[in-house]
Amino acid sequence: MTQPSDMLRAAVRRAATVLVASLPVLALPVHAQKAWPERPVRLVIGFGAGGSSDTVARTVAQQLAQAWGQPVVAENRTGATGTIATDIVARAAPDGYTLLFTSALSTAAALYPSLPFDWQRDVAPIVQTTAVPQLLYVHPSLPARSVKDLIAFARQRPGELGYASSGVGSVAHLSGASLALLGGLKLIHVPYKSNGLAALDVVAGHVPIMFDQLSTAVPNVRAGKVRALAVTSARRVAQLPEVPTMIELGYAGFETSVWHGLFGPGALPKELVARINADANRVLRLPEVRERLGALGMEVVGGSAEAFAAEMRRDHAWASKTIRSAGIRAE
């Protein structure tokens, strides 16, 4: 006859056996999380080689590759204001091996009435890397030395003055449309395939006005090829400290910038979002990264995924209002 103590010891042995057998299964997710990445990470970039998005993406990717001990393979997939690249990542497996680097996603969502993905559900914001304010400038042949002068001059010539941009729905386009709405102006929008091409035509005198990114604008301003009137940041920029902001000139709330950021598929686990966010923030704090991006007129941002999502919602609200008020339509 088995004694109660024998029965107790047997029960304990059985429980211990079950517990030990289950340990590898219980530990597997933690082990997999710590091991990521075990192979190269694909980084899909929404804009072309050599542009501001591409420059930031490759700068960050190089440092992340060193931190992760795995290659980060950058791949430019251009078109439709970055939405082609976004769709690729939205459909990818949420395992952290396919990431997105893009800009203007919230603006594109406001511009295009139908997208193949839900911009707030199908991609997961990880971190905003940078913000690039716009600089309002004119060709020197234009007799305007201030924003006030420009508005007065344009009011006298409705439908005669054009402003260049990097494309329909771009931040440069919407900034110009905002200026027209604010000043009661009738300006002609002249879209180009890239920011650089637009700037070249303004420098050449073919188009007199542009809201340009600092990285493109500063060299032309310093060379006297264009005349800077205002920046669209909240504060003056170090590269052109003599140029006032639109806000300090009395245009309250006129604050626009091009953001860049890192995303994953919408179902990317929160733990992996947090891991990549932390690693990216460490990269963005590196002196050499801050120096390189700062020299290009970019503000290094960083911060949480939640803060990035909130910034995108604000950008979408501004873009939607401007597009609606100006009657802008996608081409």
Confirm whether 168 is domain-assigned.
yes
Tell me the C-alpha to C-alpha distance, in Å, between residue 115 and each of 1, 79, 89: 74, 13, 14
Give me the sign of the Cα torsion angle 73, 78, 81, 83.
Answer: negative
119 and 264 belong to one structural domain:
yes
141 and 193 belong to one structural domain:
yes
Task: State which H helix or E strand residue 90 sits in.
Answer: helix 83-90
Confirm whether 97 is domain-assigned.
yes
Classify 141 in phi/psi space as left (phi over 0), alpha (psi -120 to 50) or beta. alpha
Q: Which of 95, 46, 37 is nearest to 71 (CA)?
A: 37
Work out the widest C-alpha separation in the chain, in whole angstroms. Answer: 110
49 and 72 belong to one structural domain:
yes
224 and 138 belong to one structural domain:
yes
Residue-wise pLDDT tens for the chain (331 aa)?
Answer: 444 444 444 443 554 444 444 444 333 344 334 589 999 999 999 998 888 899 999 999 999 999 999 999 999 999 888 999 999 999 999 999 999 999 999 999 999 989 999 999 999 999 999 999 999 999 999 999 999 999 999 999 999 999 999 889 999 999 999 999 999 999 999 999 888 899 999 999 999 999 999 888 999 999 999 999 999 999 999 999 999 999 999 999 999 999 999 999 999 999 999 999 999 999 999 999 999 999 888 999 999 999 999 999 999 999 999 999 999 998 7
- Taking the alpha carbons at both ends of the chain, their separation in whole angstroms is 88
Is 22 in a helix, a strand, or coil? helix
Q: Which of 202, 193, 186, 88 is nearest to 141 (CA)?
A: 202
212 and 166 belong to one structural domain:
yes
116 and 264 belong to one structural domain:
yes
Q: Which of 180, 179, 178, 222 is nearest to 203 (CA)?
A: 222
The encoded tokens of residue 171 equal 């931040």
169 and 315 belong to one structural domain:
no
Q: What is the pTM of this model?
A: 0.84
64 and 113 belong to one structural domain:
yes
Confirm whether 31 is domain-assigned.
no
The CATH number given to whatever domain includes residue 97 is: 3.40.190.150
182 and 140 belong to one structural domain:
yes
Last residue of a domain, one of 175, 196, 231: 231
Confirm whether 331 is domain-assigned.
no
Confirm whether 112 is domain-assigned.
yes
Domains in the chain, number: 2
- CB distance 109 to 327 below 8 Å: no
Phi, psi of 255 (to 5 degrees): -135, 110
122 and 269 belong to one structural domain:
yes
- Residue 207 belongs to domain spanning: 133-231
Confirm whether 70 is domain-assigned.
yes
Confirm whether 60 is domain-assigned.
yes
